[in-house]
């Protein structure tokens, strides 16, 4: 094509098509083989104690984490095999003293870097060092729109105020900001205010993510499960905000599984377009995959390359495609659309990761799960079990001054 367009209308249409989305949520990236973006969980250490943490119940200890040199080697290898973006996550990635060095290395090997952080350990100097090292984007988690709710959920005094401060620094440094808000029964009433907070913080994006129930969240499900009425109200608020804030704030909305009719296309399908790397170097199909027992995950510390693990390891191939599916998935018209939903959820709720995700109305367990959600949402369990290395601490025994 030459840039000698015939008329403006045609060109305007073409321009829209000139930016095909290679990867967002639910994309065509699987046709390209190696994922475009990889999540690096640098550590499980975190000063927050959120009861819905996506990390496994058995957290990796600091002395088992990959070293700086090991992570650098991993980053080089990822760039070499065609990964384009790296998300530095955790735990709390800024708990690693070598974070700026790792961001610099990602920049040096041509990776686009994103920091997924609670922000509470950052100082202005540390954030500037990360920006100077080439950090491209920052995502900060918020537990509410004000300290009363937010600090209680985080299990940390003054966490909320600190996050607000860091978000302002990020924009001063011209870092694009995503606000991540994990939503549940005890903070959903703040959603409209959280959306306004994201606008006031000059964020580009807001993730409104309903809790997904594996690991710590499963342990705390009774205290977190929203009511159906709350979810209906949430959808209304999000839809209204999407229209009202078009061009100002992009909103990604993750609906809660238990009240869904169809399961989510989890991770875009197992082993299709995503993997993450655990603090000890295990290559995982999703960040919750270690909750599934009976799968053997290969590590970057082993004898295989990352590309080999992605293409050939048993853990990745076990639930790839549609061949593994039982009924009702196998004969279902949606099997190439949702790939049977979430393996971790199937395991958590049925004991077998190879079953249909009970979030699907076609699962024989769906009705029971829906009823369970309604019962728990209406119940009076509101106390959290905080996430920590001790296997969890009930809220009434917790020290929140950390």
**DSSP code per residue over 71-122:** HHHHHHHHHHHT--EEEEESS-GGGSTTHHHHHHHHHHTT-EEEEEE--TT-
Strands 37-41 and 85-89: parallel
Query: Among 26, 68, 73, 81, which residue interacts with other proteins (rule: CB under 8 A)?
Result: 81
Beta carbon of residue 80, minimum distance to other proteins (angstroms, whole number): 9
Q: How many residues bind to other proteins according to rule CB under 8 A?
A: 44
Query: Among 54, 104, 114, 186, which residue interacts with other proteins (rule: CB under 8 A)?
Result: 114
Footprint of other proteins on residues 300-319 (CB under 8 A)?
Answer: none
**CB neighbours (10 Å) of residue 296?**
9
Closest CA to 362 of 333, 383, 382: 333
Question: Residue 196 corresponds to which tokens in the numbers above?
Answer: 């306004």
Residue 125 binds other proteins, judged by CB under 8 A: no
Binding mask 31-50 for other proteins (x = CB under 8 A): -x-x-xx-------------
- CB < 8 Å & 24+ apart, contacts of 228-236: 228/259, 228/373, 228/374, 228/377, 230/185, 230/188, 230/189, 230/377, 231/255, 231/256, 231/259, 233/188, 234/183, 234/188, 234/191, 234/208, 234/210
Binding mask 154-183 for other proteins (x = CB under 8 A): -----------------xx-xxx-x-----
Residue 379 binds other proteins, judged by CB under 8 A: no
Query: Among 57, 112, 304, 328, which residue interacts with other proteins (rule: CB under 8 A)?
Result: 112
Beta carbon of residue 396, minimum distance to other proteins (angstroms, whole number): 38
Per CB under 8 A, the segment of 22-30, 89-97, 183-191, 345-353 that binds other proteins is 22-30
Residue 247 binds other proteins, judged by CB under 8 A: yes
Using the CB atoms, write b or e for 256-278: b if 16+ within 10 Å.
bbbbbeebbbbbbbbbbbbbbbb
Task: Closer to other proteins by CB, 172 or 352: give it.
Answer: 172
What residues contact 78, with CB distance under 8 A and at least 6 apart?
38, 86, 111, 306
Residue 3 binds other proteins, judged by CB under 8 A: yes
Query: Among 4, 63, 293, 401, which residue interacts with other proteins (rule: CB under 8 A)?
Result: 4
Interacting residues with other proteins (CB under 8 A)? 1-5, 8, 11-12, 14-24, 29, 32, 34, 36-37, 81-82, 84-85, 110, 112, 114, 136-137, 171-172, 174-176, 178, 202, 204-205, 247-248
């Amino acid at each position: 094509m030459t840039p000698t367009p015939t008329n403006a209308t045609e060109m305007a249409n073409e321009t829209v098509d000139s930016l095909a989305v290679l990867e967002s949520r639910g994309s065509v990236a699987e046709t390209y083989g190696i994922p475009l973006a990889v999540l690096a969980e640098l550590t499980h250490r975190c000063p927050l104690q959120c009861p819905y943490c996506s990390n496994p119940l058995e957290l990796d200890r600091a002395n088992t984490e990959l070293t700086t040199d090991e992570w650098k080697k991993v980053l080089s290898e990822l760039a070499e095999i065609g990964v384009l973006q790296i998300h530095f996550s955790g735990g709390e990635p800024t708990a690693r003293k070598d974070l700026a060095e790792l961001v610099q290395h990602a920049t040096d090997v041509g990776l686009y870097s994103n920091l997924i952080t609670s922000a509470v350990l950052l100082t202005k100097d540390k954030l500037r060092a990360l920006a100077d090292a080439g950090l491209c984007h920052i995502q900060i988690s918020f537990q509410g729109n004000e300290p009363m709710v937010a600090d209680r959920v985080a299990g940390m005094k003054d966490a909320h105020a600190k996050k607000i401060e860091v978000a302002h620094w990020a924009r001063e440094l011209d870092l694009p900001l995503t606000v991540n808000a994990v939503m549940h029964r005890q903070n959903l009433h703040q959603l409209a205010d959280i959306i306004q907070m994201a606008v006031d913080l000059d964020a580009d994006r807001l993730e409104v993510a309903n809790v997904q129930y594996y690991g710590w969240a499963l342990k705390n499900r009774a205290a977190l499960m929203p009511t159906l009425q709350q979810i209906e109200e949430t959808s209304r608020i999000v839809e209204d905000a999407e229209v009202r804030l078009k061009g100002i704030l992009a909103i990604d909305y993750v609906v809660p599984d238990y009240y869904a009719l169809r399961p989510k296309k989890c991770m875009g399908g197992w082993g299709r377009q995503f993997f993450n790397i655990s603090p000890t170097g295990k290559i995982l199909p999703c960040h919750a995959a270690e909750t599934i027992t009976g799968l053997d995950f290969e590590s970057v510390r082993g004898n295989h390359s990352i590309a080999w693990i992605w293409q050939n390891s048993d853990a990745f191939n076990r639930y790839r495609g549609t061949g593994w599916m039982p009924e009702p998935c196998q004969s279902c018209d949606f099997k190439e659309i949702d790939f049977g939903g979430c393996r971790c959820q199937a395991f958590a709720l049925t004991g077998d990761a190879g079953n249909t995700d009970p979030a699907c109305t076609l699962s024989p367990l769906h009705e029971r799960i829906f009823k369970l959600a309604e019962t728990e949402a209406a119940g009076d369990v509101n106390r959290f079990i905080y996430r920590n290395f001790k296997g969890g601490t009930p809220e009434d025994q917790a020290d929140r001054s950390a």
